[in-house]
Amino acid sequence: MTTMSRPALRVDAQGQRLRLLHVHAHPDDESSKGAATTAKYVAEGVDVVVATCTGGERGAILNPAMDRPDVLANIADIRRQEMDRAREILGIEQVWLGFVDSGLPEGDDPPPLPEGCFARTDVAEAAAPLVEVVRSFRPHVMTTYDENGGYPHPDHIMCHKIGVAAFEAAANPDAYPDRGAAWQPLKLYFSFAFYRERMVALHQAMLARGLESPYGERLREWPEDPKHAARITTRVACAEYFPVRDRALFAHATQIDPDGPWFAVPLELHKSAWPTEDWELVRSLVPTTIPEDDLFAGIAVPVASTVSA
């Protein structure tokens, strides 16, 4: 895997450019979960790769303007094209792990997941291509979702499972011996993109400005969960990169409704009401102090302090 040429503004103790691997379930997840953090680190010279588990083939078309028969008939190709545009906007590299979208069964008696889909794949088998990506790219830091997938989509839950499995297995030379030389990532994070406390802050900021909040009804149906919010260990200040995040989101035109509730909140209000993206550190092989403000805390050093590699 090649890396993009950028100034090495952030490096490890050996003077090596920092490397960050995000593991996501579908195209568009890289733009809706942690994209401003990604853009911040890209601007600071970090090499970022997104591993996308599935092609999003069974995803619903969520933008009414794109809900057309020609789009539906070509959804797999279109979602790949959308991913290419988002990748360019974020300044990252991206790899497909090659699994088939499981879809989201709904209803009181949901149908079984389809044969051959990602969520029905054996975890050890599904982790293999991700282990290969880890060993090829050699990230210092990995991110994925929590045990609930961020929300309980079967592909997100499976993404969590293989992300955790690959973090551990990639360092074991006896595991997946045909997938490259062993590599130990130093930190593993879970992303916290959509949670109640963040929505409350945006909701209250809208009301304080005399604006109609799009979140009132949702919050009334969303019980408080202090234990969930308490899991956050790391808040990355990245408000100046929210415009990059939004451009990457808009690249996924089948998935993002520009007239939807998220974009009802003015960008400047987003920046002031909640200027961070938030993460849970779940595994670290380097000393660090909680709370953190950097995914590379304990790894990154000032360039002047590095030694020659």
pLDDT given for residue 108 in this prediction: 76
Q: Average of pLDDT values for 208-233?
A: 93
Tens of pLDDT, residue by residue over 95-117, are: 999 999 999 988 777 889 999 99
Tens of pLDDT, residue by residue over 156-170, are: 999 999 999 999 999
pLDDT at 261 over 90: no
Q: Are strands 47-54 and 93-99 parallel, antiparallel or unpaired?
A: parallel
Tens of pLDDT, residue by residue over 3-27, are: 455 556 889 999 999 999 999 999 9
Tokens in use for 164?
């955790």
DSSP one-letter code for 17: B
- Which secondary-structure segment (H or E) carries 28? none
Tokens in use for 264?
């009802």
CB-based burial, 106-134: b 16+ in 10 Å, e otherwise = eeeeeeebeeebbbbbeeeebbbbbbbbb
pLDDT given for residue 9 in this prediction: 83
DSSP output for 155-211: HHHHHHHHHHHHHHHTT-TTSSGGG-S----SEEEEEE-S-HHHHHHHHHHHHHTTP
Spacing of C-alpha 21 from chain mean position: 9
pLDDT given for residue 304 in this prediction: 58
- In order of their start, the domains of the chain are 19-194+232-265+276-305 (3.40.50.10320)
Tens of pLDDT, residue by residue over 41-90, are: 999 999 999 999 999 999 889 999 999 999 999 999 999 999 999 999 99
Q: How confident is the model at residue 308 (pLDDT cuts 50, 70, 90)?
A: very low
**pLDDT > 90 fraction of the chain, expressed in percent and rounded:** 86
As a whole number of angstroms, the distance between CA 22 and CA 190 comes to: 10
